[in-house]
């Protein structure tokens, strides 16, 4: 079976995790601090605060952006559901905006008509690693006092106007789930250029404590901590950070390989009439976190049948990006919502295998199945079974 993704983990990650364990300090400590500094430097983001997941990062972003009950948060429905859930955690109302079909991202055109005087934040997702047009969104939102939070869960190492994704955001959230490029098993990072915001994020991820457990540990004198506000336990462990440090060192190599494989897919799949694939936007480069393919309306095989044909050929693939507003968790909040691009592309896209160790022969197998499906004549009804 060819998996849809396989994390790139080697003996270096295993050794780093083992060293963290032998050190006797396995909770958030020196390795988390080191990982944060290295991540901030690699992404040009100023300050990076490690957390237990990107979902936790998005939740904390909502809090520091001051989003609360009665506020509206504009977000794409076409995203992993954690994007929209973050607004729900703080009691805000999610207003779903449609996406632009080439990038699957929000644009100023889809967001502007939805802004009201209750809009407190926009969550701008870099879907599948494709950078969204952050500067344009900030030009729309900054003068209105609306926070733009970049959900860069998929976008570590993607670039936007020559800078790493996240570098231009007041708040950006990254994921280290194994489905993403860099992994720590579970984990996330929230970044900000503002040192005061970073300090508050550090408190919020650790129960609202004014001095971290790690800092108290190394103090010679007795330190009694104080709890300034209600916080969370969203800490990353030093075992995870040790793995993350090794992974971060491989980011350039991982991206180079993914872009090479993605170009090969783009070239092979361009032979199939009407098929569209993920590609770089005019203003940046994607890390190809997921390689999505959009089927044309006249494709002879339904999307879910194509997923089954791939599975029958020993190839694991996934439906395209989900649409949160179609899930039961959102059913009673979004009645009669019109998101035509989201609905069409969520139903007609699929994600095919792309990972560091994928071979050209395996890519050919994937393309062969899609190509055979494209040549299938539409099944005509049996005239004998038609009503007279």
Ligand X SMILES: *Cc1c(COP(=O)(O)O)cnc(C)c1O
Q: Which residues bind ligand X (CB under 6 A)?
A: 53-55, 79-80, 82-83, 125, 151, 153-154, 175, 177, 188
Please report how close the Cβ of residue 293 comes to ligand X at its closest, in angstroms.
Answer: 18
Please report how close the Cβ of residue 191 comes to ligand X at its closest, in angstroms.
Answer: 14
Residue 322 or 334 with smaller CB distance to ligand X? 322
Residue 241 or 301 with smaller CB distance to ligand X? 241
Please report how close the Cβ of residue 188 comes to ligand X at its closest, in angstroms.
Answer: 5
CA distances from 124 to 74, 152, 267 (A): 9, 8, 29
d(CA 296, CA 9): 36
Is residue 385 part of the annotated active site? The answer reads no
Please report how close the Cβ of residue 167 comes to ligand X at its closest, in angstroms.
Answer: 18
List 47, 180, 200, 250, catalytic entry: 180
| CA 62, chain centre distance (Å) | 16
Residue 61 or 153 with smaller CB distance to ligand X? 153
Please report how close the Cβ of residue 227 comes to ligand X at its closest, in angstroms.
Answer: 25
Tell me the two tokens of residue 295: 């089927």
**DSSP secondary structure letters along 75-137:** EESBS-THHHHHHHHTTPEEEEE--BTTTTB--HHHHGGG--TTEEEEEEE-GGGPPP-HHHH
Q: Is residue 265 within a helix (H) or strand (E), and if so which, with residue range?
A: helix 251-269
Tell me the two tokens of residue 384: 């004998």
CA distances from 342 to 44, 79, 154, 381 (A): 32, 9, 19, 31
If one counts every other C-beta atom within 10 angstroms of the C-beta of residue 8, the result is 16
CA distances from 52 to 49, 81, 84, 184, 282 (A): 10, 17, 18, 10, 33
| Residue 233 per-residue DSSP state | B
Residue 44 or 185 with smaller CB distance to ligand X? 185
Residue 157 or 188 with smaller CB distance to ligand X? 188
d(CA 244, CA 148): 27
Catalytic residue set: 180
């Amino acid at each position: 079976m060819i998996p849809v993704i396989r994390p790139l983990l080697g003996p270096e990650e295993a050794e780093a995790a083992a060293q963290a364990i032998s050190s006797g300090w396995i909770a958030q400590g020196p390795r988390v601090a080191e990982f944060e500094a290295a991540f901030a430097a690699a992404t040009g983001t100023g300050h990076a605060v490690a957390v237990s997941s990107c979902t936790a990062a998005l939740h904390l972003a909502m809090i520091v952006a001051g989003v609360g009950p009665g506020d509206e948060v504009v977000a794409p429905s076409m995203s992993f559901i954690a994007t929209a859930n973050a607004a729900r955690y703080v009691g805000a109302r999610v207003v779903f905006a449609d996406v632009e079909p080439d990038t699957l991202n929000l644009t100023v055109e889809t967001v502007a008509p939805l802004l009201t005087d209750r809009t407190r934040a926009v969550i701008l997702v870099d879907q599948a690693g494709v950078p969204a047009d952050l500067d344009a969104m900030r030009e729309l939102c900054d003068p209105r006092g609306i926070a733009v939070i970049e959900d860069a869960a998929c976008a570590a190492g993607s670039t936007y106007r020559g800078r790493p994704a996240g570098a231009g955001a007041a708040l950006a959230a990254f994921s280290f789930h194994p489905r993403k490029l860099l992994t720590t098993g579970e984990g996330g990072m929230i970044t900000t250029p503002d040192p005061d915001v970073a300090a508050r994020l550090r408190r919020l991820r650790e129960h609202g404590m004014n001095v971290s457990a790690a800092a108290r540990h190394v103090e010679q004198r007795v330190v009694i901590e104080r709890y300034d506000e209600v916080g969370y336990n969203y800490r990353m462990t030093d075992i995870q950070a040790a793995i993350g440090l090794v992974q971060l060192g491989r980011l350039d190599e991982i991206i180079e390989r993914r872009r090479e494989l993605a170009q090969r897919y783009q070239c092979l799949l361009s032979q199939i009439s009407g098929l569209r694939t993920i590609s770089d936007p005019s203003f940046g480069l994607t890390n190809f976190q997921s390689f999505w393919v959009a089927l044309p309306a006249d494709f002879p095989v339904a999307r879910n049948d194509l997923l089954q044909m791939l599975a029958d050929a020993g190839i694991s693939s996934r439906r395209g990006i989900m649409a949160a507003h179609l899930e039961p968790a959102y059913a009673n909040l979004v009645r009669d919502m019109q998101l035509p691009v989201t609905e069409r592309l969520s139903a007609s896209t699929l994600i095919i295998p792309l990972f560091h160790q994928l071979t050209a022969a395996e890519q050919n197998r994937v393309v062969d199945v899609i190509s055979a499906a494209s040549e299938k004549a539409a099944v005509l009804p049996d005239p004998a079974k038609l009503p007279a």
